[in-house]
Amino acid sequence: RYPIVVTDHKVACRDFWQRHFGLDVLFDSDWFVLLGNEQQGSVVAFMSPDHPSAPPGPECFGGQGVCLEIEVQDARQAMADFQASGGEVAYPLSDEPFGQRRFGLRDPSGLWVDVVEQIEPQTGYWDRYMQTGD
């Protein structure tokens, strides 16, 4: 299982994900690229909008309404590695009260990517969201 992002920037997305996240190209053609690695399997794919067998409906992605989360052991190190490889951070490293240390970025298709490390939430943060069973 993996998302397919329809974009005019298939090659730029392939290169971005290889360079900044070390993903392997599992399949590549003129119209489609599948990226992943041995540990996670397939992670994300990019497809040109003019692909002849594209199903009806998948217009070019416009950069809104989708967030891809990548969970890491150390978000601080992941951000340092991302920046060292030339990546531009769009949301700074933050410890969120709901229990995540994260930073955010956009890939060449406009896809929002949250790079997330799970941390302890602020005491009582989730209490207001829990159902009481009444």
Q: Please write the tens of the pLDDT for every residue from 85-104.
A: 999 999 999 999 999 999 99
What is the structure's pLDDT at 120? 95
Adjacent-strand bridge partners of 102: 94, 116
Model pLDDT for residues 47-64, shown as the tens digit of each residue: 998 877 666 666 888 889
In whole angstroms, how far apart are CA 90 and each of 126, 127, 134? 27, 30, 42
Helix (H) or strand (E) holding 104: strand 100-106
CA distance 9 to 4: 13
Query: What's the predicted TM-score (pTM) here?
Result: 0.86
pLDDT surpasses 90 at 69: yes
Listed by start position, the domains of the chain span 4-129
Radius of gyration (C-alpha) of the chain in whole angstroms: 17
- Check if the beta carbon of residue 95 is closer than 8 Å to that of residue 79: no
- Check if the beta carbon of residue 68 is closer than 8 Å to that of residue 4: no
On whether the 4-129 domain is CATH 3.10.180.10, my answer is yes
